[in-house]
Amino acid sequence: MTRPPPAPGPPWDAPLDEAALAFVDLEMTGLDPATDHVIEVCIERVVGGHVVDSMCSLVKPPVRAGHNVHIHGIDEAALTHAPPFADLAGRVLALLSDAVLVAHGARWDVSFLEAELARVGAPQRFSHYLDTLDLSRRALSLPRHSLDALAEHLGIDRARAHRADADVAALRTVFAECVRILAPNTPRDLWEVRIAERAARSQVLADCTDAQAAGVPVRIDYRPRGRAAETLTMVVTAVDSGLDPPRVIGYLLPGRGRRELRADRILRVESAQ
C-alpha cells in the first residue's frame, strides 16, 4: 500500500543542506511501547551538517529497567537520579519541531516517542520520517544492515554501542554515506526511497526524462538486486512510468548495447559531459 507523502513545503522540500534534521536514538526497557519505557534519549538537531541544538539524557522509567541491561548496560543504579520523561518532553518536542526525524529502524523510535509523549499528556504523531535502514539497503550492498554492521563497514568506533549518544554519532555517519551515494536534493527525495514499495524517486525519473529530451549521455549509478552498484554511461531513449516499477530504457556507451533499468534501483543520475 502506497503511503501518503509528507505535506509540501519545508522541511521536506527545502534543500537538504538547509533543512533541519533531528537525529534520534532511544534506549528502552523492552520492545513493547505499550508497556515498556524509554530510559535514554539522544537527539541532535542538525542543519547543513552542523549541530545547532541537542540533548542527551538518561530517563527514569516508572517501572524497573527490565531485561535489556545486557544490551545497553543501563542498570537501576544509573537511573536513580535521572529525570522522568515528563521533565524532558518539552525539550524533545522543541528539538523535533519543524524538523525531519531521522533514525535507524525508525518505527521503533517513533513508536516509543509517541507512546511516551501520550503518557505525559503531550500527544504527537510523527507520520513521516527518514529511516537509515531503508536508505542503506538501497545504497549499499551488504549482507546485514544493522547499525553495528554498518558501523563495521564504515569503520565507525563502536566502543559505546547501544548507548544513545554513540548510536546517534553512528547514525549521522551512516546517513552522510547514504546521502553521498544517493545525491538527493531534498529530504522528500530520501523519503521516496521505500524498498518494500518498489517506488521510484521523483528526482530520478525527472533526471532521466530530462536526459531523454536532451539526447545527451548521462552517468547512472545502478544497483541490481544482490549486487554492488555499477556506473553506466547511457543515452536514455525512453522512460516508461506506466510499469511497476517504472523502467528507464536506453543504450550504453561505448558499444550501444540496449539496457532496461528498474527506476527504483537507480541511485543517482548525472551528466556524462
Q: Residue 163: which of 74, 66, 32 has the closest Cα?
A: 74
Angle at 212 between CA 206 and CA 216, to 5 degrees: 115
The mean pLDDT value of the chain amounts to 93
127 near 106, Cβ under 8 Å? Answer: no
Q: How far apart are CA 104 and CA 210, in angstroms?
A: 33
What integer pLDDT is reported at residue 150 of this predicted model?
95
Asked if residue 20 has pLDDT above 80, the reply is yes
Asked if residue 141 has pLDDT above 70, the reply is yes
126 near 99, Cβ under 8 Å? Answer: no
Asked if residue 255 has pLDDT above 90, the reply is no
Asked if residue 2 has pLDDT above 90, the reply is no
Average pLDDT over residues 167-186: 96
Of the chain, the percentage scoring pLDDT greater than 90 comes to 83
CATH of the domain at 210: 2.30.30
- Examine the domain organization and report whether 104 and 210 are in the same domain: no
Asked if residue 269 has pLDDT above 90, the reply is yes
What type of residue is 102? V
Average pLDDT over residues 145-163: 84
60 is in which domain, residue-wise?
A: 20-190
What integer pLDDT is reported at residue 256 of this predicted model?
87
What integer pLDDT is reported at residue 195 of this predicted model?
74
- Examine the domain organization and report whether 253 and 216 are in the same domain: yes
Query: 155 — alpha (psi -120 to 50), left (phi > 0) or beta?
Result: left
- Examine the domain organization and report whether 171 and 231 are in the same domain: no
Average pLDDT over residues 239-264: 95
Asked if residue 198 has pLDDT above 90, the reply is no
What integer pLDDT is reported at residue 3 of this predicted model?
76
Candidate from 9-18, 97-106, 191-200, 250-259 with smallest mean pLDDT: 191-200
Say what the pTM is: 0.93
**Domain C-terminal end among 129, 157, 190:** 190
191 near 6, Cβ under 8 Å? Answer: yes
Residue 79 maps to a domain: yes
Grid coordinates standing for 127?
507520520
CATH of the domain at 31: 3.30.420.10
Positive or negative CA dihedral for 115, 128, 72, 45? negative
Residue 4 maps to a domain: no
Cα–Cα distances in Å, from 216 out to 158, 209, 221, 256, 271? 45, 11, 16, 14, 8
**Domain C-terminal end among 190, 218, 241:** 190
Asked if residue 66 has pLDDT above 70, the reply is no
35 near 29, Cβ under 8 Å? Answer: no
pLDDT-derived band at 72, boundaries 50, 70, 90: low
Positive or negative CA dihedral for 240, 189, 208, 198? negative
More confident residue, 73 or 7: 7
- Examine the domain organization and report whether 180 and 254 are in the same domain: no
pLDDT-derived band at 264, boundaries 50, 70, 90: very high
| 43-65 tens-digit pLDDT | 999 999 999 999 999 999 987 76
What integer pLDDT is reported at residue 201 of this predicted model?
96
Positive or negative CA dihedral for 71, 44, 137, 116? positive
What integer pLDDT is reported at residue 217 of this predicted model?
96
Number of other residues whose CB lies within 10 A of the CB of residue 186: 20
Q: Residue 233: which of 210, 256, 267, 200 has the closest Cα?
A: 256
Residue 136 maps to a domain: yes
Pseudo-torsion of CA 250, 253, 259, 261, nearest 10°?
-80
Residue 133 maps to a domain: yes
